[in-house]
Amino acid sequence: MKYVLSVLGLLLVTACGTKQNTSVGKEDAVEKITITSQDVKVSMDYLASDELGGRATGSKGIEKAAVYIENYFKKNGIKPYFETYRDSFKLGEIDGYNIVGVIEGTDDQLKNEFIILGGHYDHIGKGKTVEGDSIANGANDDASGTIAAMEFGRYFSKSKSNKRSILITLYDAEEMGLKGSAHLASKLKEAGLNAYTMINFEMIGVPRAQDKAMAYMSGYDRSNFAPTLNKYAGEEIIGFFPKAKDFQLFYRSDNFPFFKELNIPAHAISTFDFTNFEYYHHVDDEADKMDYEHMANFINKMIPALEGMMNSNTKEVVLNEE
Bin 273: left if φ > 0, else alpha if -120 < ψ < 50, else beta: alpha
**Secondary structure (DSSP) of 244-279:** HHHTTGGGSSTHHHHHHHH-S-EEEEES--SSS---
pLDDT in 10s for each residue of the chain, 322 residues: 433 334 334 333 334 443 333 333 433 443 368 899 999 999 999 999 999 999 999 999 999 999 999 999 999 999 999 999 999 999 999 999 999 999 999 999 999 999 999 999 999 999 999 999 999 999 999 999 999 999 999 999 999 999 999 999 999 999 999 999 999 999 999 999 999 999 999 999 999 999 999 999 999 999 999 999 999 999 999 999 999 999 999 999 999 999 999 999 999 999 999 999 999 999 999 999 999 999 999 999 999 999 999 999 999 999 998 6
pTM of the model: 0.90
